Structure 1
Amino acid sequence: MVQQVKEAKRRGKKVAVGGPYVTSISQPCKAAGADYLILDEGEITLPMFVKALECGEESGVFRAEEKPDVTATPVPRYDLLEMNAYAMMSVQFSRGCPFQCEFCDIIVLYGRKPRTKSPGQLLAELDRLFELGWRGTIFMVDDNFIGNKRNVKLLLAELKPWMADKGYPFTFNTEASVDLAKDQDLMDAMVACNFGSVFVGIETPDEDSLAVTKKFQNTRDPLLESINKIQRSGIRVMAGFIIGFDGEKKGAGDRIVEFAEKAAIPLTLFSMLQALPDTALSIRLKKEGRLLEAGGDINQTTLMNFVPTRPIEDIAREFVDGFWRLYDPQQFLDRTYRCYRILGQANFPKKEKKAKKPFNWHALKALFIVFTMQGIVRKTRWSFWFWQKYIT
């Protein structure tokens, strides 16, 4: 984003930036020359920005003093998108999360009291996407889709007949806390509405580390059992893992890999812990004198931006080794096949009516690449074609 700001300024353009990234870390874009910073949630700050433009203001920083009522959020202008440029569309039902994970900035940005749209609002957004011809995957971008279980069940109750009437034109992905596994009715309702996968922040199988970072929701029930319940219900789990928590014992990377293997989780996001701005973690580390103010980028591939409690060399070594093991082609294929065998045991609802989907040349091209690379070029080609012989 910073490079785009610099390039736009080089061409003599006015630049406006906004969204969660800029709200959290505004200084880099400001230093790069951004003229307008539209921070916090757009329902409040976008009208302020538009008014400033109408008044001829040349620059400005626009902030909100409160959280907006999302039941008044209008349907996004999906008609302005080039649909063919996207692999999936995005909709949002809720903002905020009731938990208090020390490293997470979602509660800083959106609060701990989840705010939800009405079911009618969400269906209006889906109606618009359907009218525009979208068929395929939709990412429900809620940071914790089940943060308000009562309201999400009300949504699913209305979404189920909508999907059936339209012939299941969409497949949904989302993010949720692991306590989803405690509510079988909720999982069944999600499957009935064609939810195919959920991202779960597992972080680590080490309970001591989970307690240190105040992720207590991951310690109340056996994690492996919870993941198995979700996948047996027919929802594929994508997992986030983090290494570098305070008090972490040697071998954390190995334990993360072992957990992913046991749980048959194909897709994993693995990163070293970063102290995001204004989080409880960054505030604590600053008080302790461990926050590296000028060091470390906040992204998934760089070293930590604070001094850890064990040697950074050990953490980095375990991270790199764990990443290579998680994405070793043979191991990845093995987890993928085992995952889909588990999913195949679920009781999926019978779909009487299926929407006609336009032919997708991009999907055909992707399929050709997969068959060529995985089935011909790679050394693991035999396990790609004869997968039943290679499942451990």
Structure 2
Amino acid sequence: MVSDSLSPASPAPGRNQSAVPDAERIRRSPKVLLHDHLDGGLRPATIVELARETGYEDLPETEAGRLETWFRESADSGSLERYLETFTHTVGVMQTREALFRVAAECAEDLAADGVVYAEVRYAPEQHLRGGLTLEEVVEAVDEGFREGERRAAADGHRIRVGALLTAMRHAARALEIAELANRYRDLGVVGFDIAGAEAGHPPTRHLDAFEYLKRENNHFTIHAGEAFGLPSIWQALQWCGADRLGHGVRIIDDIQVADDGSVKLGRLASYVRDKRIPLELCPSSNLQTGAAPSYAEHPIGLLRRLHFRATVNTDNRLMSGTSMSNEFEQLVRTFHYTLDDMQWFTVNAMKSAFIPFDERLAMINEVIKPGYAALKSEWLFRNSAV
């Protein structure tokens, strides 16, 4: 065990009462998103329209407002398996090139309007073949949609760059095929690989051939691990598979002990994750829905932030969680009294952990993120000095 002198009651690093952001500044702050599912972020009105256009007849509601409520209530069950059931309907309307293009373009637009300047959005090509598309046609349609969304966002005065993560479903047997697809389209909009789906009974080690292939090709990959399943899932993702990042990873808290006097001890796995600066793709609102955390106040992100893990803030599924990056930060600011300095820390963490070349990450940090937060801090100080 490794002892740490930081108490869970100690102030968050960088705490500056003069820079506590309000909702409007949170929305305008530059944000970086590493864990967002394309099929988990559709606009409800788009689902209704696509269902009508494609002949999909299984929607539980056909009015956009009621459908949005249905998604949120169905996902808010405390069960990851029940949460995943909601994707039947979003995937169901994403089976044509036109639908994929539209959903991807709107995704980029929505993220940019929320202040996201860089995003990695993941989806599983194998789930979009029912309409006769090939894997390659799926990837190309989504990429064209992302590029169109970037152009529309720029026309509205918002800067964003979107990269795709190709996901294999952990209960299926196409991981190597999807990994090879990700490698063929790297530098053509695809920045990495992922596996997703219910963790219990489907360990990442079932897909070792895909991970070994990606390592031989010097390609990047993240693995959903440590969300519904605990430390063994994290250990396997890192030590057997060699993941660059942990999708969620929130259950690393199981290897951290907090004593009554506030002292903290890290187990060997938690120490390894922190020492190696392994990024954690934390998704607070989603974690509450799936039962990985009981409340924002009890979410491990607060302690992980104080212990200087490579923690990042993410949305996971914006439709199912009724959330956005601004909402995630609003909840954290309200709960942990985070400041613009804390928000910048999370954002720089995410940009450092992105699957694009180092010089491009550095340029985003120095030319977009840091200047953006500096402007917000100066604005706040000017406003308050005039009061």
Q: Indicate the TM-score class for this superposition, using the shorter chain for normalisation.
A: 0.3 to 0.5
| Bigger fraction of residues in helix | 2
**When the two structures are superposed, what TM-score results if normalisation uses the length of structure 2?**
0.39
